Structure 1
Amino acid sequence: MQRAAQRDDRAQRQMRGKRLSRVLVCAAAVPAVLITAACSSDSGDSKSKGADSSARQSAGSSAKPSASASPTVQAAAYQKLPAACAVLSKKTLADLVPNAASSGKKGTSDDPSSRASCSWSSLDNNGVKGSQFRWLNVSLLRFDSDTARGAGDAQAHTYFGQQVKDAEAVDGAKNTKEIPLSGTGTEATAVRYDLKKKEGLFKQQTVVARVENVVITLDYNGAGLAGEKTPDADDLTKAAQQAVKEVVGSVSSANGGSSSGGSSSKAPASPSQSASKSASPSKSPSKSASSSASPSKSAARKS
């Protein structure tokens, strides 16, 4: 019985040992479960934070302003020029250059739609009394609107002022007088002066007029040669002004407008203030204008 009691005691001790081992094994498994749960929780938080960050970046990129619109300038009023040798009627030519050839001498141009000119000369020989000389030249320059240079009429306004200054600064000119003209295009000015040459005393008239984006420069001079009397400057100025009005009408007619030489348009605003239609991409004549001599100087040399 003692041995049986000992066996029972050993059996009980073995059973208690097995139960303790199972408890220790279960206790050791708990931290691993907690660690796994914690990792799973951190992984979810990281994904959530990444999604939030991506959403914020997407919202930020969509909030960026779009590219600014391309700058525009007001389209030029006139897109072409009339034939320079046809801008004056036969009657007007007969009055200004009575013995001129039936057709004038056309100037050369690499772009007739932007730049054109024509000249006429007349020598009325009165025998022993001498002769009356007349020379007439008409030049037209058209400016296109351009995003870099600005509106065509503003460019023309600047060139108009330059032409007037050039006419006033001719070498050897005497008794220079500037006369603002009304009712002739958008703006117009006549500059007249005396120019002494070996042939005689020449009376020079230069009338510069602007109609929208086109500038007209008309040079008209006269002289009494070999004993003939010197022509009256007032008469020449009046004739030149009437001729310019006719040229203004020809420019308007060539572009589908009326042939009237008057205009109530005001001087243009700065190019930066003009913004409506897109500018025409055609070639701007300002480069060829700046490289050529002023008509008034050319007239003085040719006369």
Structure 2
Amino acid sequence: MDDEGASQNASKSQAAGGQVSATSPSLLLMRDFVSDWSPLHDASIRGRLLTLKKLISQGSDVNLVTTDQVSPLHEACLGGHAACASVLLKHGAKVNGVTVDWHTPLFSACVSGSVACLNLLLQHGASLHPPCDLASPIHEAAKRGHVQCVEILASHGVNIDYNIKHLGTPLYVACENQQVNCARKLLESGANVNSGQGLESPLHAAARSCSEELVMLLIDFGADIWAKNAKSKRPMELVPPGSPLGRLFLQKEESCPAATNQSAVTITLCSPGCSHGNTDYPTGMRLRMMKV
């Protein structure tokens, strides 16, 4: 049985309820086989280099796309098959082709976390920034915890603080998904520690997830512990009262009081264990401030 026949049988087995690995590349974007799925697409996503070369030598179009505008190069990168991607590119595959979901091959490489595919695409002139905010490579890499992909994109000059309205910055996405190593790499690459999604800072996202490691990382890089989100909540107010993380925030707030923020001073003065408020303000002033 040749490769193509084996692939078809495998597809039929999956459709009949056969078990499929949860890490199967074809499941990464939750796509089903479509009517115009070609042997070239199949060889690309499965990494069948010899079959791919044979199909190309027989005249298969490397830029053949499905009804969703998915090209063989998209699939090779989604599967993390750099050798297949290289052959496709050498035969004229479009490096910046876009699917109906605005996915580029670079985006697919960031989904799979394939450093080899990512480097290859960049060598062939892949655009660092998305044609549409619905599919940003740097956000996808940060979300999935692909640190090397984040590092490579940063070293090639990607906008490290690229802010997408519905996602925020890559750092915010990393914190929201508790990807500590990606958050660290973004910060080391110069990401703005306080730039998140609207008024929500990365520290708000870290506090909400109760990640002490992320909170400490962000604070070490100068995160504003007094920042308020759209609901006027500080990061400290997003953690369970009395939790270790809550006590950590309290210690930080006591050591760095926001003297110019009357509401913040009020909270600090009234916090349990706070010992520096009673001698600084007369009783009458403290009572007035507590009403703010």
| TM bucket normalised to smaller | under 0.3
Q: Which has the higher contact order (CA 8 A, sep 6+)?
A: 1
Higher helix share: 2
Normalised by the length of structure 1, the TM-score is: 0.17
Higher strand share: 1
Normalised by the length of structure 2, the TM-score is: 0.18
